[in-house]
């Protein structure tokens, strides 16, 4: 019946043409910035909203919006630097841009749920040749740092960059990517799946094409972010606005108290870990107590932050909300926390990175355990701007003549 209706030769020719057309279109859209008024990868356009951007998309945002003679600043990190808890109008990176002025261009590519440095470090790495004057900045909390391949939500971005050759991976980076969690079968399978899908995507560019269509015209994947807000799953992502509402300090305190058990577990868990890994020598100096942990941490720095970016990398230490540490940690553990921060900073600095921290963060600056409200974001912006200017001077960015005006 079908055979009499359709001519098989033409039908299969059509299949080939349709598929090839999509692959070519995917490749074409991946070479253009299709985001309008990009501020950050808000939950409608990140993994929370079942939307999976690519490294090339990050690159294209930069290429479209950052003239080559500016100092490029790429912000990586997790939800803290993403600005969860800060509306777009009061986002800390907006303030950072204002403080740094027109000579710099700041891009917030931090992704919630992606431990530092996050996938945007790959975008930064791939742009070093185009933007020799570049800084990368991400947040850290204690010794929290992860190799991208161990990040369940965004590990695909490592393989996306690898298979599309967006980034020339160094052997240590590849070795780092191949680190899996021992005999964890589920993780190994997830990594293999990510690799397979990214390999196919490097041939057929389906992610870029359907991201583009989902962003501009019609989104087709059910997602919890839209569902919670009563927004149709089909609405183009460019028309979906995600706003964080800023609560009053009293409302926030009420929230923290209502989640006391959760925060208590979180803070005490962190505290027990800190107590385990640091100690003091007889002269009262901090020492690395659990050598395995610290050596693994040292290796993670080498694998997670590419060598060519280390001297351009600013790591901003965001302490845990002091309300929590005061409430749930003993005086000794609070001290251990400082010890971890100090020793982690030493390791980071020994690798060539710059570490910055503010000692005057107050509970009013926080949304929850680590996320910041606009007031806290403002403090971080001030700190980051100071250090970025210092780094720019040190790296000779301020003396260099503009390369071109493109």
Point out which residues bind other proteins (CB under 8 A): 5-8, 10-23, 26, 43, 47-48, 50, 52, 79, 84, 112-113, 152-153, 156, 197-198, 200-201, 204, 206-207, 209-210, 220-221, 223-224, 244, 368, 371
Q: State the pairing for strand pair 278-280/313-317.
A: unpaired
Looking at beta carbons only, is 157 or 345 nearer to other proteins?
Answer: 157
First to last CA, the chain: 60
Residues contacting 364, CB < 8 A, separation 6+: 249, 373, 375, 376
Q: Output the CA–CA distances (angstroms, integers) from residue 280 to 255, 336, 389, in the order listed.
A: 36, 9, 35
- 322: tokens are 């002091």
Looking at beta carbons only, is 267 or 354 nearer to other proteins?
Answer: 267
- 190: tokens are 């997830």
Q: What is the largest CA-CA distance in the chain?
A: 91
Give the nearest distance from C-beta 11 to other proteins in angstroms: 4
Nearest CA to 111 among 101, 121, 103, 102?
A: 121
Looking at beta carbons only, is 47 or 240 nearer to other proteins?
Answer: 47
Give the nearest distance from C-beta 43 to other proteins in angstroms: 7
CA distance 195 to 207: 14
CA distance 234 to 41: 18
H or E segment and range at residue 383: helix 374-394
Looking at beta carbons only, is 184 or 295 nearer to other proteins?
Answer: 184
Give the nearest distance from C-beta 371 to other proteins in angstroms: 7
Give the nearest distance from C-beta 110 to other proteins in angstroms: 13
Looking at beta carbons only, is 26 or 339 nearer to other proteins?
Answer: 26
Give the nearest distance from C-beta 317 to other proteins in angstroms: 19
What 3-state DSSP class applies to 72?
strand
DSSP string, 197-249: HHHHHHHH-HHHHHHHHHHHT---S--HHHHHTT--TTS-GGG----PPPPPH
- 249: tokens are 């300090």
Looking at beta carbons only, is 191 or 314 nearer to other proteins?
Answer: 191
Looking at beta carbons only, is 47 or 58 nearer to other proteins?
Answer: 47
Give the nearest distance from C-beta 16 to other proteins in angstroms: 7
Looking at beta carbons only, is 368 or 378 nearer to other proteins?
Answer: 368
Looking at beta carbons only, is 49 or 306 nearer to other proteins?
Answer: 49
Looking at beta carbons only, is 221 or 393 nearer to other proteins?
Answer: 221
Give the nearest distance from C-beta 401 to other proteins in angstroms: 43
Give the nearest distance from C-beta 370 to other proteins in angstroms: 9
H or E segment and range at residue 193: helix 185-204
Q: Where does residue 53 fall: left (phi above 0), alpha (psi -120 to 50 degrees), or beta otherwise?
A: beta
CA distance 57 to 175: 25
Give the nearest distance from C-beta 50 to other proteins in angstroms: 6
Give the nearest distance from C-beta 113 to other proteins in angstroms: 5
Burial of 10 (0-12, 13-18, 19+ CB in 10 A): exposed
Give the nearest distance from C-beta 48 to other proteins in angstroms: 5
Asked if residue 369 lies in contact with residue 324, where contact means CB atoms within 8 angstroms, the answer is yes
Looking at beta carbons only, is 15 or 350 nearer to other proteins?
Answer: 15
Residues forming beta bridges with residue 73, ordered by sequence position: 106, 135
């Amino acid at each position: 019946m079908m055979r009499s209706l359709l001519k098989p030769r033409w039908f299969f020719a059509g299949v080939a043409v349709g598929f090839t057309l999509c692959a070519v279109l995917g490749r074409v859209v991946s070479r253009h910035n299709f985001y309008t008024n990009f501020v950050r990868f808000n939950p409608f356009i990140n993994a929370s909203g079942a939307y999976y951007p690519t490294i090339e998309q990050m690159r294209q945002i930069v290429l479209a919006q950052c003239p080559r003679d500016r100092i490029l600043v790429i912000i990586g990190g997790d939800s803290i630097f993403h600005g969860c808890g800060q509306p777009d109008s009061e986002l800390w990176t907006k303030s950072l841009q204002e403080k740094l002025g027109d000579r710099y261009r700041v891009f917030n590519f931090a992704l919630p749920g992606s431990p530092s440095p996050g996938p945007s470090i790959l975008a930064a790495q791939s742009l070093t040749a185009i933007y020799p004057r570049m800084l990368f900045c991400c947040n850290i909390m204690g010794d929290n740092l992860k190799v991208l391949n161990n990040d369940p939500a965004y590990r695909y971005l490592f393989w996306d960059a690898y298979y599309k050759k967006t980034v020339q991976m160094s052997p240590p980076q590849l070795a780092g990517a191949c680190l899996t969690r021992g005999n964890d079968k589920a993780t190994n399978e997830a990594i293999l799946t990510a690799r397979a899908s990214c390999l196919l995507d490097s041939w057929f560019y389906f992610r870029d094409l359907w991201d583009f269509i989902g962003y501009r015209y019609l989104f087709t994947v059910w997602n919890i972010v839209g569902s919670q807000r009563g927004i149709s799953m089909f609405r183009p992502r460019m028309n979906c606005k995600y706003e964080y509402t800023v609560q009053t300090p009293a409302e926030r305190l009420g929230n923290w108290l209502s989640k006391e058990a959760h925060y208590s577990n979180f803070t005490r868990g962190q505290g027990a870990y800190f107590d385990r890994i640091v100690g003091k020598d007889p002269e009262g100096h901090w020492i690395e107590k659990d050598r395995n942990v610290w050596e693994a941490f040292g290796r993670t720095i080498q694998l997670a932050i590419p060598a060519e970016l280390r001297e351009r990398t600013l790591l901003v230490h965001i302490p845990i909300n002091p309300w929590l540490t005061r409430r749930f940690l003993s005086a000794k553990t609070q001290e251990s926390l400082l010890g971890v921060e100090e020793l982690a900073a030493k390791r980071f600095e020994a690798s060539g990175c710059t570490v910055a921290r503010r000692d005057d963060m107050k509970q009013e600056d926080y949304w929850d355990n680590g996320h910041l409200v606009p007031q806290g974001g403002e403090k971080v912006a001030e700190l980051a701007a100071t250090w970025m200017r210092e780094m720019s001077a040190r790296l000779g960015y301020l003396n260099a003549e503009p390369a071109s005006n493109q």
